Structure 1
Amino acid sequence: MPNFTKSIVKAITENKLAYSLGAVAATYSFVTFVRLGPQSSFIRRLFDLNEVFPITAHCEPGYENVREVFQQNLQEGLELGSSFCAYVDGKCVVEIYGGYHDKERTKQYDTSSLQLVFSSGKTIMSVLVAHLVDKGLIDLNKSVADYWPEFAQNGKEKVLVKELLAHRGGVGWLDTPYQITSDDLEDLDVTAKKIAQQPHNYDGRPIHDYHALTRDWYVNELVRRVTGKSAGQIWREDINPKLGTEIYVGLPQELYPRVAMLQPYPALRTLVRLLLPSWLHGQPFPKALHQVIRRRGKGLFGLNFRIPGLSSSVVDPSKAANNYKFMKGEGPSYATVTNAKSMAKLGAAMLNGSLDGFDLISISETYNKVYEEMDLQEDMSMGIKMPFTACGFNVVKDTSVPDPDMDECERVGQYRADGERWHGWGGLGGSMIYWNVNQNISIGYAESQLGLVLVGETRSVRLCDAVYKCATALKSKAN
């Protein structure tokens, strides 16, 4: 073969090798990129360099695996800072804080960190209502107007308390004249007068349509009518000091620096999950979120609440939620500020009736009232069926993890647990408060990095499953 020809063959061969190596490198880089967590460093993941995160953890013997799962969430870039807590049989068995309080990573996320937990606050409010039911102050089968006569305006006279709590009160969205501003919440009398005038959304029919923001403005007024105090006052004055919780509905200004700012889910990561197949990036776009976006229900997308001078965004809820004015007024459905331990402790008190000397539920009959399941309806805004009780607790059955977004057909395999029953709810982005009435397990989870999810996702599923497995294994061993 002539030297010239040999040179050409050699060049082609070498270039093919270079092209092949380049293609492999590009493919590896692309797959690494699309599998990034919202807090992941591309360079670290590309070269498999683990970052060391500060973690403070207390795990009782037998629960050590929960810490490992918590650390895994951090290592995969799913967290910036978060806390997780679990009680079993009324005892705190897991309490973990990890990551960073701020996006600059100058301060550890620790016991001093507080978190806005969005709709997890609805369960916290429902627990307060259960306490008032136990004291005989509220009857779930009475009409709201029995306690608050002005509520009866414009077709709402027959709405029952349990219908309001279970998202079928007909006030899931507010028409323009009755929409609430942060200034309105400075005076709850003004708020009550305004929202009482709202016409029933469905002409008096008890149709299930998730009351994302509005539910607990109405429930708070109900609480005021029977106690003379708002929910925020009751937590601060009557429950927090006795139960040792930090639950704030209407955040005092001096506590605002303790709140870890919410981090939005990256827009590019959202597009990756929406447009690329799930086998490639590992996290399918939530089915429930697809339905919500498609339906654009007024309860979720309507301008029911605004902060004057501040634009809000459905794509980036943290923009408004991180503002102090968002947390200052009493918005129990969306602006409760707390931590994981307080939520888990509240669940433990629900399970056991009392905790640390504080009686939450003293009459056994109360449980029959607050756990009564409402008839199952498809939610008008979410397009899925989610069971709720008469006191507003979501019910998740036959699974080891409380993930209400999980379709019934998916409650099989590793998370299948026949007969198990969880009560509670979670918040936009991932926070969660649930308790398992069979195993006497309660969990609380609070995070600053918002997930692409309505309620429950990878992080909380892993942690709850780890606790469930540890608890059931220990109980089985003891027997």
Structure 2
Amino acid sequence: MPVATGPIAGQYAEGFAPLAAQFAAHFRAKQEIGASLCVYHRGEMVVDLWGGLADRETQAPWTADSLVVVFSATKGLAAMALNMAAERGKFEWDAPVAQYWPAFAQNGKADITVRQLFNHRAGLAAIDVSLVLADFYDPSQTERLNAILAAQAPAWTADADQGYHTMSFGMYAEAFFQKVCGEPLATFLHRELLDPLGADVFMGTPASQDERVATLYPVSTPTRLVHMLWAAARGGSTESNVARAVLSGGLAKSSLMNPPTPGGLGAYNLPPVRRHCLAWASATASARGLARAYAPWSMQGTWQGRQYVQPETIAPILQRQGWSEQDQVLGKPMGWAQGFLKEDDGVFSPSRASFGHPGMGGALGWCDPEAQLSWAYTMNHMDWRVRSPRALALCQALYRCKLD
């Protein structure tokens, strides 16, 4: 395979030069601090690139196995665990959540199904009780937090609308998973998928991996606000719709900011945050690891001769199960299928069968079963936009490559 030169390192297969060139261009334009990109095609790694710095202060280089917090790309991993648990008969997608978690039936939620909850259609995008991030690290708070989740009243009748359950998705995923499986979501996913795959992903990052974790460089809150105000005033784009939804307060603000992150998103650089499995945001991954985690999902559930997921589990995910032209939280077109994001046409892929999950700032784990592709992009220079132009440019470049 050709070896990358210049501002990036690694290698890529013949036919994937357009993608390597696009990745290198971001470094030349000083749009990256440190980043990795990995692609599997038909189960084989065809792109493995990285470059830049893991930490500006120490000048530590970004390496092939640098880990970084991937924010909401964590939700794609949680969706993997949910789908694999359903395959093992732990629950039915169209059964009421209350069948497995009786307390959940409070406040008009008795008929909400598992599918509606994890397709962001249950009206539970925001939690009314003020939460504290540190409570999610404390096992003694689990029972109280679960009681709060069970008591929450929905903002709309299930399936009548859709709103991105920004943080509550992970809260409900963890609570529900422990009810139906009797163990933490992370324990199950590592045992059943990540560890057998050798996927360099951690749902709760142990101290032994701290030296590999790159420093995040988020946009400051004042800078983010200025950008959002400008986008909202300008109009006519996805980012303007998102900015207007968030700046209007109400549901969008509550969904995105409870629990608040003390000190801003830089708090995710602190070990306590990533040490625990916050199933909405705290996973760390290398691009190699995240792309490999999606590889079986792009290959009818099989990778290197082992069946990780049944084709019958993947088949319904290829279709949009829920869709909104204006999501109540993000204000943009989007949909879901059993916990995985189904983006608007052409955003990450031209294939509607594709699925995965992006993360705040630009991180992305995605797969296209039609083209038998899985890929991941991880970086530490976080973009203020809900869909990073760098991530979008990489996806577009991928489909300019020779995939036959």
Smaller-chain TM-score bracket: 0.7 to 0.9
Q: Distance in 2 between matches of 1:348 and 1:246?
A: 13
Contact 1:130 1:370 in 2 (8 A): no
Query: What is the CA deviation profile of residues 65-87 of structure 1, one whole-angstrom value per residue up to 9, with x for unaligned ones?
Result: 32222111111111100111111
Q: Distance in 2 between matches of 1:269 and 1:224?
A: 36
Q: Distance in 1 between matches of 2:317 and 2:100?
A: 18
Query: What is the CA deviation profile of residues 410-435 of structure 1, one whole-angstrom value per residue up to 9, with x for unaligned ones?
Result: xxxxxxx5x65421221111111111
Structure 1 letter corresponding to 2:193: I
CA change 1:271–1:397 in 2 (3 A) is: closer
CA change 1:118–1:269 in 2 (3 A) is: closer
In structure 2, what is the equivalent of residue 181 of structure 1? 133
Query: What is the CA deviation profile of residues 183-224 of structure 1, one whole-angstrom value per residue up to 9, with x for unaligned ones?
Result: 343214443233222222336664311110111211122222
CA change 1:89–1:205 in 2 (3 A) is: closer
Structure 2 letter corresponding to 1:110: T
Q: Secondary structure at the match of 1:376?
A: strand
| Identity, % of aligned positions | 23
Q: Secondary structure at the match of 2:219?
A: coil
Report deviation, 1:295.
3.0
CA change 1:347–1:236 in 2 (3 A) is: closer
Report deviation, 1:93.
0.4
1:442 aligns with 2:374: yes
1:384 aligns with 2:332: yes
Q: Distance in 2 between matches of 1:264 and 1:164?
A: 30
Report deviation, 1:261.
1.6
Q: Secondary structure at the match of 1:470?
A: coil
Match of 1:321 among 244, 256, 268: 268
In structure 2, what is the equivalent of residue 248 of structure 1? 202
Q: Distance in 1 between matches of 2:401 and 2:73?
A: 25
Q: Distance in 1 between matches of 2:73 and 2:230?
A: 30
Return the TM-score normalized by structure 2.
0.87
CA change 1:341–1:235 in 2 (3 A) is: same
Q: Distance in 2 between matches of 1:63 and 1:336?
A: 28
1:467 aligns with 2:384: no
Taking the TM superposition and a 5 Å limit, the aligned residue runs for 1:60-459 are: 60-104=13-57, 106-176=59-129, 179-187=131-139, 188-202=142-156, 206-265=160-219, 271=226, 275=230, 286-301=239-254, 303-306=257-260, 311-313=262-264, 317-318=265-266, 320-352=267-299, 353-362=301-310, 364-377=311-324, 378-389=326-337, 391-396=338-343, 398-399=345-346, 401-402=347-348, 421-455=353-387, 457-459=388-390
> More deviation in 427-436 or 226-235?
226-235
Contact 1:143 1:160 in 2 (8 A): yes
In structure 2, what is the equivalent of residue 45 of structure 1? none
> More deviation in 67-76 or 324-333?
324-333
Contact 1:343 1:443 in 2 (8 A): yes
Return the TM-score normalized by structure 1.
0.74
Q: Distance in 1 between matches of 2:157 and 2:147?
A: 20
Unaligned 5+ residue runs, structure 1? 1-51, 277-283, 404-416
Query: What is the CA deviation profile of residues 296-350 of structure 1, one whole-angstrom value per residue up to 9, with x for unaligned ones?
Result: 343544542246xxx344xxx23x2222222233211111211212221122210
Query: What is the CA deviation profile of residues 242-273 of structure 1, one whole-angstrom value per residue up to 9, with x for unaligned ones?
Result: 10112222222332332212112265697479
CA change 1:186–1:270 in 2 (3 A) is: closer
Contact 2:247 2:253 in 1 (8 A): no
Q: Distance in 2 between matches of 1:356 and 1:191?
A: 41
Contact 1:53 1:99 in 2 (8 A): no
Unaligned 5+ residue runs, structure 2? 232-236
Contact 2:252 2:330 in 1 (8 A): no
Q: Distance in 1 between matches of 2:106 and 2:128?
A: 14
Report deviation, 1:465.
2.1
Structure 1 letter corresponding to 2:202: Y
CA change 1:64–1:325 in 2 (3 A) is: same
Q: Distance in 2 between matches of 1:259 and 1:342?
A: 14
Contact 2:101 2:179 in 1 (8 A): yes
Structure 1 letter corresponding to 2:134: S
Q: Distance in 1 between matches of 2:166 and 2:19?
A: 31
Q: Distance in 2 between matches of 1:269 and 1:396?
A: 23
Structure 1 letter corresponding to 2:335: P
Query: What is the CA deviation profile of residues 146-186 of structure 1, one whole-angstrom value per residue up to 9, with x for unaligned ones?
Result: 11112222222111111111111222111126x35323432
Report deviation, 1:98.
0.9
CA change 1:236–1:73 in 2 (3 A) is: same
Structure 2 letter corresponding to 1:369: P
Q: Distance in 2 between matches of 1:395 and 1:238?
A: 24
Report deviation, 1:53.
6.7
Q: Distance in 2 between matches of 1:328 and 1:299?
A: 27
Q: Distance in 2 between matches of 1:265 and 1:285?
A: 19
Contact 2:193 2:293 in 1 (8 A): no
